[in-house]
Amino acid sequence: MNIKCGELKFNINCDKNWNIPKNVEKFIVENGDYPDLNYNIEFVNSISKDNRQITSVKQDLMVGSDGELETRYLFIKGANYPYAKYTEVDDKNISVEVLEDFKDMFEIDTMFWSLFALERHMIQRKALVFHCGYTLYKNHAILFSGPSGIGKSTQSDLWKKNRGAEILNGDKCLLLKDNDAWCADGWPVCGSSEICINQRTKLGNIVFLNQGKENKVNKLSKIEAVKKIISQLTINYWNLDFVNEAFTIAEDIVNNINIYELICTPDVRAVEVLEKCLEDGETWIL
């Protein structure tokens, strides 16, 4: 199975009868020659251990490293044993062990894609996974972002209902450059929204949300914008090179794209206020 996410091409060798998320098929490519990575997935009765030094321990993840290559042990929160192990054999080949007892759980997109450490390979291609409502309007992406529950889906839905916008992903997108222009790209994880369209679009603006009784838009300073963007990126904080590159990318985004904060109500008034701000300050929307 040949997959392309962003500019990363990879092959997944697995049981053809394995039930995996339906959205995977949206990222399958016909021409899978010369993939960047090869993943071999094996179902096992117990997860093996290796001698790589443990560099990070979290509730759902334990990371080992030998300095270059990485191992990941994946846990269900609260469990005392991993359900899967990701092992970089070399810079191109990756072995994935999955407990046989968990085989039927991987129709859930977050479970399935946890096996591949894609954010680690995306950063090497100067791309980052961003938590947002990815909304298409006038051939540009408006990304509504902020903490879970802040209203990303609400604002995306309002733009769809009142301005004919299209929601391409209700939870995440990939940020990357294409021909020196920042773009949002499709991502195979879409959370509870179940909206997942694999489409690359020029980035119009990123809008961070706050709830309020009145509607107001503020253009963020570059320093504040970088902080906000970093807070909603998938970053491997145990990897200093990853962290530094993430900041470099965030700084480049804010040097080229205006970032806004929208204090808003959950109704069409929020759309009207943001639209007026964008029409006054952005050429792409005219």
Domain at 188, CATH number: 3.90.228.20
Sequence-ordered list of residues with C-beta below 8 angstroms from that of 249, at least 6 positions apart, any chain:
126, 128, 175
Instruction: Domain count for the chain, please give it.
Output: 2
d(CA 234, CA 185): 15
In the chain, which residues have pLDDT < 70? 32
Predicted pLDDT of residue 78:
87
DSSP-assigned letter for residue 17? T
- Rounded to whole angstroms, the Cα distance separating 218 from 237 reads 29
Same domain, 108 and 215: no
Q: Are residues 132 and 273 in the same domain?
A: yes
Domain co-membership, 159 together with 197: yes
Buried b (16+ CB within 10 A) or exposed e, 102-131: eeeebeebebbbbbbbbbbbbbeeebbbbb
Residue with tokens 């839905």: 157
What's this model's pTM, rounded to 2 decimal places? Answer: 0.96
**Do 164 and 57 lie in a common domain?**
no
Are 106 and 208 in a shared domain?
Answer: no
Provide the sign of the torsion angle of the four alpha carbons 216, 219, 220, 225, taken in this order: positive
88 in any annotated domain? yes
Among residues 116, 137, 168, the one where a domain terminates is 116
Q: What is the pLDDT of residue 191?
A: 84
Q: What pLDDT score was predicted for residue 229?
A: 99
Are 142 and 101 part of one and the same domain?
no
- Residue 133 domain boundaries: 128-281
Verify that 84 and 176 share a domain, yes or no: no
Residue 122 lies in a domain: no
pLDDT at residue 32, as a whole number: 66
Task: Identify whether 123 is part of a domain.
Answer: no
Specify if 97 maps to a domain.
yes
Q: Does some domain include residue 272?
A: yes
d(CA 149, CA 95): 36
